[in-house]
């Protein structure tokens, strides 16, 4: 057989699925079950997996989605996966959560153009007939069967979301590379000392920014020589490498490295990674420079002790952490080595 044809046939085997239709009422009830029975695996649920992003749709977008259903606009397929008999949402979590929020009376519609009379209204403002019609409307879903392996499921998630302006690279990576290594990255991002030293603004905090920064710390401090200016590609390659090799021993090693860096920053930098005492967020370039610079300095001198870090507020440091062309390799190396050399040379 033609090698190309053989490869296509082999990959086709990775996906086994059915096309289903569920009334909105059933979708909402299955999702509600997952909220009420988070720790049970024997209930009929449609659930949002840990690797999915937070509920980030704004009221305008939620309202427009509900309006689309009410006026009969075709709705894209949901993608679900059979995981131990429960239905994991591969794509469609924002829509399903919006349906639940609207039907439960929590969503007040706004900024609608086609149904302007519904602005300021909610589900209970509909007539009894219209409510029944809304709940009885069927939506289509692609259901990946239990024969579809985990890697194929994550591959589908990545293919659906890559290139979309709805997901940031960190969120796509979080879904596509889900597993023990990313569980560890998430654990580090929730560390109390990390959150104290590196506060992240609410605007980006729900978009996987914490895990993104932790991942960058490990990737840059481990494989910076391989960096070529393509942040996404570099982090994807590093993540795949760590997924393949991650072990309990590696976890202990990395956690020790992370904790040692945080404790040093806590002891020697008055404001942690922040620009000032009252800062409520931390610039990413500043975190990268300090965290990796400190870690690299400690690698060269494990007993490193410094008395003065006031240079962190200098014009020189501000210059190397400017955001223009921040991901250029020379700029990245420049800000990391600035911190490392100042620490080592006093």
pLDDT of residue 324: 61
Q: Does residue 273 fall inside a structural domain?
A: yes
Within this chain, do residues 140 and 30 fall inside the same structural domain, yes or no? yes
Nearest to 18 by CA among 148, 115, 161: 148
Phi, psi values for residue 148, rounded to 5°: -80, 120
pLDDT of residue 278: 86
Within this chain, do residues 241 and 203 fall inside the same structural domain, yes or no? yes
Q: Does residue 236 fall inside a structural domain?
A: yes
CB contact set of 110 (below 8 Å; sequence gap of 6+)? 59, 60, 63, 119, 120
Q: Point out the domain boundary residue: 156, 188, 212.
A: 156
Nearest to 126 by CA among 148, 103, 99: 103
Please indicate whether residue 297 or residue 209 has the higher confidence score (pLDDT).
297
Nearest to 17 by CA among 96, 87, 76, 82: 82
Query: From CA 273, how far away is CA 335, in angstroms rounded?
Result: 14
Within this chain, do residues 184 and 74 fall inside the same structural domain, yes or no? no
Within this chain, do residues 325 and 202 fall inside the same structural domain, yes or no? yes
Q: Does residue 5 fall inside a structural domain?
A: no
Within this chain, do residues 300 and 188 fall inside the same structural domain, yes or no? yes
pLDDT of residue 51: 59
Q: pLDDT tens-digit profile of 104-134? A: 999 999 999 899 999 999 999 999 999 999 9
Q: How many domains would you assign to the chain?
A: 2
Nearest to 221 by CA among 209, 213, 210: 213
> How many Å is the Cα radius of gyration of the chain?
24
* Vertex 232: Cα angle to 231 and 234 (nearest 5): 65
Query: Model's pTM, two decimal places?
Result: 0.56
Query: From CA 229, how far away is CA 231, in angstroms rounded?
Result: 6
Residue 164 confidence (pLDDT) above 50: no
* Vertex 70: Cα angle to 66 and 73 (nearest 5): 90
Query: Domain of 306?
Result: 168-345
Q: Does residue 2 fall inside a structural domain?
A: no
* Vertex 299: Cα angle to 252 and 238 (nearest 5): 60
Within this chain, do residues 211 and 312 fall inside the same structural domain, yes or no? yes
Which segment of 19-28, 42-51, 213-222, 243-252 scores lowest on mean pLDDT?
A: 42-51
Q: Are strands 46-47 and 17-23 parallel, antiparallel or unpaired?
A: unpaired
Other residues' Cβ atoms within 10 Å of the Cβ of residue 93: 22
Which DSSP category does 107 fall into?
P
Within this chain, do residues 150 and 201 fall inside the same structural domain, yes or no? no
Within this chain, do residues 211 and 319 fall inside the same structural domain, yes or no? yes
Q: Are strands 78-83 and 86-91 parallel, antiparallel or unpaired?
A: antiparallel
Other residues' Cβ atoms within 10 Å of the Cβ of residue 183: 13
pLDDT of residue 55: 76
Q: Point out the domain boundary residue: 156, 176, 204.
A: 156
Q: pLDDT tens-digit profile of 263-293? A: 999 999 999 999 888 888 899 999 999 999 9
Within this chain, do residues 190 and 133 fall inside the same structural domain, yes or no? no
Query: From CA 164, how far away is CA 28, in angstroms rounded?
Result: 26
Within this chain, do residues 85 and 186 fall inside the same structural domain, yes or no? no
pLDDT of residue 218: 96
Residue 204 confidence (pLDDT) above 50: no
Q: Does residue 59 fall inside a structural domain?
A: yes
pLDDT of residue 45: 83
Q: Does residue 20 fall inside a structural domain?
A: yes
Within this chain, do residues 61 and 108 fall inside the same structural domain, yes or no? yes
Nearest to 269 by CA among 290, 292, 286: 290
Q: pLDDT tens-digit profile of 29-42? A: 999 988 876 555 55
Q: Does residue 163 fall inside a structural domain?
A: no
Please indicate whether residue 78 or residue 98 has the higher confidence score (pLDDT).
98
Residue 81 confidence (pLDDT) above 80: yes
Q: Does residue 1 fall inside a structural domain?
A: no
pLDDT of residue 130: 96
Confidence of residue 85 (pLDDT cuts 50, 70, 90): confident
């Amino acid at each position: 057989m033609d090698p190309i044809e053989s490869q296509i046939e082999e990959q086709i085997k990775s996906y086994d699925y059915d096309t289903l239709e569920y009334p909105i009422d059933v979708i909402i009830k299955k999702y509600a079950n997952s909220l009420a029975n988070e720790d049970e695996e024997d209930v009929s649920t449609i659930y949002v997996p840990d690797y999915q992003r937070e509920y980030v749709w704004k009221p305008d977008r939620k309202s427009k989605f509900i309006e689309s259903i009410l006026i009969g606009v075709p709705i894209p397929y949901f993608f679900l996966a059979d995981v131990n008999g429960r239905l994991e949402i591969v794509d469609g979590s924002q829509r399903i959560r919006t349906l639940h929020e609207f039907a439960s009376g929590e969503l007040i519609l706004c900024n609608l153009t086609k149904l302007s009379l519904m602005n300021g209204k909610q589900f209970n403002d509909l007539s009894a007939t219209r409510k029944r019609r809304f709940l009885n409307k069927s939506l289509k879903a692609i259901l990946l069967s239990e024969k579809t392996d985990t890697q194929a499921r994550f591959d589908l998630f990545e293919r659906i979301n890559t290139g979309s302006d709805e997901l940031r690279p960190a969120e796509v990576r979080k879904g596509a590379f889900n597993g023990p290594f990313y569980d560890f990255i998430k654990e580090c991002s929730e560390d109390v000392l990390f959150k104290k030293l590196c506060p992240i603004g609410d605007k980006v905090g729900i978009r996987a920014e914490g895990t993104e920064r932790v991942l960058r710390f490990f990737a840059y401090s481990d494989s910076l020589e391989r960096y070529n200016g393509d942040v996404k590609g570099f982090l994807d390659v590093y993540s795949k490498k760590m997924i393949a090799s991650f072990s309990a021993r590696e976890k202990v090693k990395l956690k020790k490295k992370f904790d040692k860096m945080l404790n040093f920053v806590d002891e020697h930098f008055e404001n942690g990674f922040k620009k000032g005492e009252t800062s409520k967020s931390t610039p990413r370039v500043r975190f990268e420079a300090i965290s990796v610079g400190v870690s690299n300095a400690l690698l060269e001198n494990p007993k490193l002790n410094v008395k003065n870090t006031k240079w962190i507020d200098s014009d020189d440091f501000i210059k190397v952490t400017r955001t223009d062309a921040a991901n250029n390799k020379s700029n990245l190396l420049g800000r990391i080595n600035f911190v490392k050399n100042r620490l080592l040379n006093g």
